[in-house]
Amino acid sequence: MNKTKYIFITGGVVSSLGKGIAAASIGALLEARGLNITMQKLDPYINVDPGTMNPFQHGEVFVTDDGAETDLDLGHYERFTAISLTKKNNLTSGQVYDSVILNERNGVYLGKTVQVIPHITDEIKRRISIPSEGKDVAIIEIGGTVGDIESLPFLEAIRQFKLDKGRENVLYVHLTLVPYIKTAEELKTKPTQHSVKELMAIGIEPSIIICRADRVLPRDIREKIALFCNVQADAVITAKDEDSIYDVPLSLHKEGLDSKIVEFLNIWAKTPDLGEWERISATLKNFKNSVTIGVVGKYVNMKESYKSLNESLVHGGIANNVRVNIKYINSEDFEGEDWEGDFGELESCSGILVPGGFGSRGINGMLRAITFARENKIPYFGICLGMQLMTVEYARNVLGFKEANSVEFDPQTPHPVIHLMEDQKNVDRMGGTMRLGSFPCVISKNTLAFRIYSKNSKKPSADKKNCARIYQDGNILINERHRHRFEFNNGYREKFEFSGFVFSGLSPDGTLVEISELINHPWYVGCQFHPEFKSSPLFPHPLFRDFISASLKSLNPEKKTPSPARRKKPKKTKA
Would you name the residues annotated as active-site residues? 384, 530, 532
| CA–CA dist 433, 439 (Å, integer) | 15
The residues, any chain, with a CB within 8 Å of residue 310's CB and separated by 6 or more, are 303, 326
Residue 228's nearest CA partner among 178, 155, 262 is: 178
CB atoms within 10 A of CB 185: 7
C-beta of 4 vs 535, nearer to ligand GLN: 535
Q: Are 383 and 531 in contact (CB under 8 A)?
A: yes
Q: Between 399 and 438, how does the x/- string for binding to ligand GLN read (CB under 6 A)?
A: ---------x------------------------------
Contacts with ligand GLN in 72-131 (CB under 6 A)?
none
C-beta of 55 vs 143, nearer to ligand GLN: 55
Out of 59, 272, 356, 526, point to the residue binding ligand GLN (CB under 6 A).
356
Q: Is 532 in the site for ligand GLN (CB under 6 A)?
A: no
C-beta of 135 vs 484, nearer to ligand GLN: 484
| CA–CA dist 26, 463 (Å, integer) | 22
C-beta of 66 vs 148, nearer to ligand GLN: 66
Minimum separation from the CB atom of position 530 to ligand GLN (A): 7
Q: Is 384 in the site for ligand GLN (CB under 6 A)?
A: yes
Q: Total number of residues binding ligand GLN (CB under 6 A)?
A: 10
Exposed e or buried b for every residue in 552-562, given b needs 16+ CB within 10 A? bbbeeeeeebe
C-beta of 135 vs 298, nearer to ligand GLN: 298
Minimum separation from the CB atom of position 435 to ligand GLN (A): 8
Minimum separation from the CB atom of position 416 to ligand GLN (A): 13
Minimum separation from the CB atom of position 383 to ligand GLN (A): 7
Q: Is 358 in the site for ligand GLN (CB under 6 A)?
A: yes
Minimum separation from the CB atom of position 390 to ligand GLN (A): 12
HSE-CB of 167 using CA atoms within 13 angstroms: 3
CB atoms within 10 A of CB 88: 18
C-beta of 267 vs 421, nearer to ligand GLN: 421
Minimum separation from the CB atom of position 531 to ligand GLN (A): 12
Minimum separation from the CB atom of position 433 to ligand GLN (A): 11
Strand order, beta sheet including 236-240: 90-92, 37-43, 137-142, 5-11, 170-177, 208-213, 236-240
Out of 327, 455, 485, 495, point to the residue binding ligand GLN (CB under 6 A).
485
CB atoms within 10 A of CB 316: 28
C-beta of 361 vs 469, nearer to ligand GLN: 361
Q: Is 484 helix (H, G, I), strand (E, B) or coil?
A: strand
Q: Is 50 in the site for ligand GLN (CB under 6 A)?
A: no
Comparing every residue's Cβ against ligand GLN, the nearest one is: 356
Q: Is 188 in the site for ligand GLN (CB under 6 A)?
A: no
| CA–CA dist 312, 78 (Å, integer) | 12
Which range of residues in 77-85, 103-111, 483-491, 553-561 is near ligand GLN by CB under 6 A? 483-491
β-bridge partners, 6: 138, 170
Q: Is 228 in the site for ligand GLN (CB under 6 A)?
A: no
Q: Is 486 in the site for ligand GLN (CB under 6 A)?
A: yes
The DSSP line for 128-195 is HHHHHTT-SEEEEEEPS-TT-STTHHHHHHHHHHHHHH-GGGEEEEEEEE--EETTTTEE--HHHHHH
C-beta of 154 vs 486, nearer to ligand GLN: 486
Alpha helix positions (H), 330-457: 363-375, 385-397, 448-457
Minimum separation from the CB atom of position 505 to ligand GLN (A): 16
Minimum separation from the CB atom of position 31 to ligand GLN (A): 30
Residue 466's nearest CA partner among 543, 398, 396 is: 543
Q: Is 370 exposed, middle or buried (0-12, 13-18, 19+ CB in 10 A)?
A: buried
Give 295's DSSP letter: E
Distances in whole angstroms, Cα of residue 20 to Cα of each of 211, 255, 414, 444: 14, 18, 47, 39
Exposed e or buried b for every residue in 483-517, given b needs 16+ CB within 10 A? bbebbbbeebbeebeeeebbbbbbeeeeebbbbbb
C-beta of 333 vs 408, nearer to ligand GLN: 408
Q: Between 190 and 209, how does the x/- string for binding to ligand GLN read (CB under 6 A)?
A: --------------------
Q: Are 469 and 86 in contact (CB under 8 A)?
A: no
Q: Is 385 in the site for ligand GLN (CB under 6 A)?
A: yes
Q: Is 357 in the site for ligand GLN (CB under 6 A)?
A: yes
Q: To 10 degrees, what angle do helices 152-165 and 121-132 make?
A: 60
Which range of residues in 248-256, 290-298, 477-485, 517-525 is near ligand GLN by CB under 6 A? 477-485
Out of 76, 260, 484, 545, point to the residue binding ligand GLN (CB under 6 A).
484
Q: Is 483 in the site for ligand GLN (CB under 6 A)?
A: yes
Q: Are 356 and 385 in contact (CB under 8 A)?
A: yes
Q: Which residues are at the interface with ligand GLN (CB under 6 A)? A: 356-358, 384-385, 408, 483-486
